[in-house]
Amino acid sequence: MNVEKNAQDLNITRHEAAVSYEERCRILGQRGAVIWLTGLSGSGKSTLADRVSADFASRKKIAYILDGDNMRHGLCAGLGFSDEDRNENIRRIAETAALFCDAGIIVIVSVISPRKAMRDDARRIIGDAHFFEIFVKADSALCAERDPKGLYRKAKDGRIREFTGVSSPYEVPENPDLVVDTANMTPEEAAEYLLNFIVPKVTL
């Protein structure tokens, strides 16, 4: 179904709120933004998201994590791992992040998003001015060595199909806003590096 055409047929239009984005940001004392963490499973996205979120809290800034695994328990429940379902998974997460961002919240998205087209669509949905693509860099060998969930082992044994980094490709970002090399940084160093980049962009 073409959702956009269906909306037009029903004369569904976007309602402009009485309180503007700028006013919401002024009230919160911060700018809305989406920090999109992309990288292989085991690269350190969730750890980085947690540390950055905690740091924002210590600064009295409102940040919220949209974790890929958590999203699949709710909003994205029922989606599989076909190309179509993966695209829809990223679309739903991006649309959700866009709403949070418009509310003036700093959103930290932690999701593999293996295809360039997926990340480009997320940027389009959220808006270039508010979207920051952060490549959490660690090669598949290191991620498999870490393997915090045992997923690489299951994928290599054939118990998980279409697993990114083993049986499904990951397209490395060509021009991310920032590369956080977790292979050569401690979790503390990685969080500090990202915060040094992003804090000036969300501070009024």
Q: Where are the beta strands (DSSP E) in 76-187?
A: 106-110, 131-137, 178-181
Taking only the tens place, the pLDDT of each residue in 76-135 is 999 988 889 999 999 999 999 999 999 999 999 999 999 999 999 999 999 999 999 999
CA–CA gap between residue 82 and residue 68 (Å, rounded): 16
| C-beta of residue 180 within 8 angstroms of C-beta of residue 132 | no
Q: State the residue range of the domain holding 45.
A: 21-202
Ramachandran angles phi, psi of 73, nearest 5°: -90, -15
Active site residues: 113
| Alpha-carbon span 71 to 78, nearest angstrom | 11
Give me the pLDDT at residue 1, please: 42
In a domain, 5, yes or no: no
Q: β-pairing, 33-38 with 63-67?
A: unpaired
What share of the chain has pLDDT > 70, as a percent? 92
Q: How many CA atoms lie within 13 A of 33 on its CB side?
A: 24
Q: Does 10 fall in a domain? A: no
Whether the Cβ atoms of residue 42 and residue 146 lie closer than 8 Å to each other:
yes
Terminal Cα distance for the chain, rounded = 42
Look at the chain and report how many structural domains it folds into: 1
Does 167 map to a domain?
yes
Residues of the chain with pLDDT under 50: 1
* Helix (H), strand (E) at residue 152: helix 151-156
Q: What is the rounded CA–CA span in Å between residue 46 and residue 66?
A: 10
Q: Is residue 34 part of a domain?
A: yes
12 found inside a domain: no
The answer as to whether 58 is a domain residue is yes
Under 8 Å between Cβ of 107 and 52:
no
pLDDT at 81: 86
What's the pLDDT at 63? 98
From the list 30, 34, 32, 55, the residue with the least C-alpha distance to 190 is: 55
| pLDDT for position 72 | 92
> Structure pTM?
0.89
CATH number of the domain residue 193 falls in: 3.40.50.300
